Structure 1
Amino acid sequence: MKAGTDRNPRWRLLACLLPAAAFFAAFWLLPISRLLALPAHKGWATYFAVLTDTRYLQSMVNTVLLSVAVTAATLALGSAVGIYLARRDFPGKRVLLSLLTLPLSFPGVIIGFFVILLGGRQGLVADISAHLIDERITFAYGLLGLFLAYLYFSLPRAIATYAAAAGSMNPQLEEAARSLGASRLRVVRDVWIPELGPTTLACGAILFATSMGAFGTAFTLASKFEVIPITIYNEFTNYANFALAASLSIALGLVTWLVLFIARQAGANPAVR
């Protein structure tokens, strides 16, 4: 009886694990294995196409630089707004926070459409400039349009993250620093930055990864500035070049994974805190 009761929990555990293992194999392991093997059909040099072809390399550089700029701007603005909302209590605060985080419910295509309404050929800026200087100024379809769309898409995540992190901080730390005569700058340096350092690293890594892989917004706006998700889409859909699309996807995944790995390592380092 005792041996039978010992076996039953193991069989139950295996029975529960089998559906999860099947799902993992069908929807992650097999597609990833196929993706990694696909470029080899056209030769091993296909794996390095992003480094050997000028167009693909430029697209990757564009994506990385844009993602870094968006991440830096989002962290600066999101931390300022999130910390302010966490430290201040005023009428309508919850309504304001809900409005600031509303873009979280919008897909990238809708955000791209917003930027077109603002800076497109028939947008608000174009109409105003046509009346003022008799020339229609547009910025939606280039680098500035993509930057603003990515920033609009990323900012609510940073605001919500910093508001939650700053709201959970121990206020006695700041009070103790001020009682010892610390200036506002010293409090920021010795209290706020160490306390919010892990949040900044985690949030920055997520923002960077989101910007690297953003497709809907780029698909709507990237007609004059090519980024790697659009390059992959063109190779896959327009040219049916599956091997090259797989190679570019691997390169995109490696760059994003490397940044996430560095962020995890920095967050695990006690010196960062």
Structure 2
Amino acid sequence: MLSQALDEEGGRAQSGMAGEKRREQPLARRSAWRLAGLLAWSILVPFLLFCLLFELLPVVITIQGSLTNGGTGGLSLAGYQRLLAQASNLRAFQNSVALSLVTALIGGLLGAVAAYGLASLRQSWLRNLLISFCSIAANFAGVPLAFAFVATLGVTGFVTVALRSWLHLDLYALGFSIYQFWGLVLVYVYFQLPLMILVTLPAFTGLRPEWREAAINLGASPAGYWWRVALPILFPSLVAGTMLLFANSFGAFATAYALAQGNINLVPILIDFLVNGNVTVDFGLGDALAVGMMGLLLAVVALYTTMLRRASRWQGR
């Protein structure tokens, strides 16, 4: 009897300890989740603060400056009135849109073809090497890129002098100039093309071989497969990539400033002249031009996001 009583007492003690452990486990789990939440917020708060100080706050200040009278400090639309009244401002938007559209179309077309060729490579080491080069080339812009093209295709550039000496072909006598519109197009395509490759490469690699096999088995020709199957799938990604190239070109400043400066009237260069000019300083007009740029880029980014969402349906995201 005594041993039975001891066994029962031991069983009750063990069950009590097990119950305490079960109660401690949810507490430990809640503590771990609370710690993870605090860690996540500690990482997120600096990022939100960065976005507030360097993205949202400048936008608010720019919009406020475009609606403020520089003399009285009151509410005014004078900046927008001057933007619409002066032909040079409208011409700057026209040139910027034309440059961005031409470079986006050229870079988009060539980049899509190159992305298809890159996706078709069987040698993974070569594909990775080319992707690495595209990553570097897409970010090689600004003053270094401008200097590289001046040293290559400038008046005394290596290629210009070589063509003049060896083939008696003077590019500048034929009307080409690295400092004019089409010269700037050539420079922009240098970093637009690899960016298009990086953006559209996942779409081309996402084309499944069984889709092509099914289309051919149903009697479709290779051209019919591309027109009726592949192109509708790739179209949102191609449009999204082209819109990204347009936005990338429209907001570029350093490359155009280093090459063209006063030769081509572009919106970013005009804003710089209005804000930092030695002769004319007009912050209200500069802010109005910047707001116009933001409005146009906002529409482009909205279209880019819409097309990217459609493309993600076929890419399994």
151, 154, 157: which is aligned to 1:120?
154
Aligned to 1:66: 99
Matched, 1:26 2:65: no
What CA distance in whole angstroms lies between the structure 1 residues aligned with 2:58 and 2:159?
45
Instruction: Please identify, of 73-82 and 26-35, the stretch whose mean Cα deviation from structure 2 is larger.
Output: 26-35
Which has the larger Rg? 2
What CA distance in whole angstroms lies between the structure 2 residues aligned with 1:36 and 1:70?
29
Write the letter of the residue equivalent to 1:26.
L
Number of aligned residue pairs: 268
- Deviation (angstroms), 1:242: 1.8
CA RMSD of aligned residues (A): 3.1
Aligned to 1:188: 226
What CA distance in whole angstroms lies between the structure 2 residues aligned with 1:264 and 1:175?
31
Q: Would the aligned equivalents of 2:163 and 2:170 in 1 still touch at CA under 8 Å?
A: yes
Matched, 1:244 2:282: no
Aligned to 2:189: 151
Identical amino acids, percent of aligned pairs: 27
- Deviation (angstroms), 1:198: 2.3
What CA distance in whole angstroms lies between the structure 2 residues aligned with 1:15 and 1:176?
49
166, 170, 177: which is aligned to 1:139?
177
Return closer, same or farther for 1:122/1:58 CA change in 2, 3 Å cut-off: same
Instruction: Please identify, of 208-217 and 96-105, the stretch whose mean Cα deviation from structure 2 is larger.
Output: 96-105
Q: How does 1:27-176 map to 2 (within 5 A)?
A: 27-39=54-66, 40-42=68-70, 43-90=76-123, 92-128=126-162, 130-131=164-165, 132=168, 136-137=172-173, 138-176=176-214
Write the letter of the residue equivalent to 1:36.
I
Instruction: Please identify, of 51-60 and 36-45, the stretch whose mean Cα deviation from structure 2 is larger.
Output: 36-45
Unaligned runs of 5+ in 2: 1-29, 71-75
Return closer, same or farther for 1:135/1:252 CA change in 2, 3 Å cut-off: closer
- Deviation (angstroms), 1:251: 0.6
Write the letter of the residue equivalent to 2:69.
H
Q: Would the aligned equivalents of 1:59 and 1:227 in 2 still touch at CA under 8 Å?
A: yes
- Deviation (angstroms), 1:245: 1.3
Instruction: Please identify, of 235-244 and 203-212, the stretch whose mean Cα deviation from structure 2 is larger.
Output: 235-244
- Deviation (angstroms), 1:89: 2.0
Write the letter of the residue equivalent to 1:200.
L
- Deviation (angstroms), 1:136: 5.0
- Deviation (angstroms), 1:146: 0.7
Return closer, same or farther for 1:78/1:23 CA change in 2, 3 Å cut-off: closer
Matched, 1:214 2:252: yes
Return closer, same or farther for 1:185/1:35 CA change in 2, 3 Å cut-off: same
Instruction: Please identify, of 191-200 and 84-93, the stretch whose mean Cα deviation from structure 2 is larger.
Output: 84-93
Aligned to 1:254: 295
Q: What do residues 105-151 of structure 1 show as CA deviations (whole Å, max 9, x unaligned)?
A: 42322222222123211113432454316785451100111101111
Aligned to 1:177: 215
- Deviation (angstroms), 1:256: 1.1
Q: Would the aligned equivalents of 1:115 and 1:145 in 2 still touch at CA under 8 Å?
A: no
Q: Would the aligned equivalents of 2:83 and 2:285 in 1 still touch at CA under 8 Å?
A: no
- Deviation (angstroms), 1:267: 5.3
Write the letter of the residue equivalent to 1:240.
V
SS, match of residue 41 in structure 1: coil
